[in-house]
Structure 1
Amino acid sequence: MLHTTNHVIKHKAGLLNLAEELSNVSKACKIMGVSRDTFYR
């Protein structure tokens, strides 16, 4: 369970960092294969 939690946290952190780098949430979500709705949850 801890491994799964760490994986989810790292994935979210990576997505947030990418969105910041690109200054574009939509592009970051598209690259990472995540919906914008999920991003804002």
Structure 2
Amino acid sequence: MPRRREVPKREILPDPKYGNVELAKFMNVIMQGGKKAVA
């Protein structure tokens, strides 16, 4: 039984350029701590 409340999942917005959610997930993994705009 957990002591803390469950953390809600964050909604992943689609990629602004291509409108694709899978691409946005891929870019988030690749660009950890980097600039996504440059990529």
TM class by smaller structure: 0.3 to 0.5
Flag the structure with higher helix content.
1
The alignment's TM-score, normalised by the length of structure 1, stands at 0.35
Larger radius of gyration: 2
The alignment's TM-score, normalised by the length of structure 2, stands at 0.36
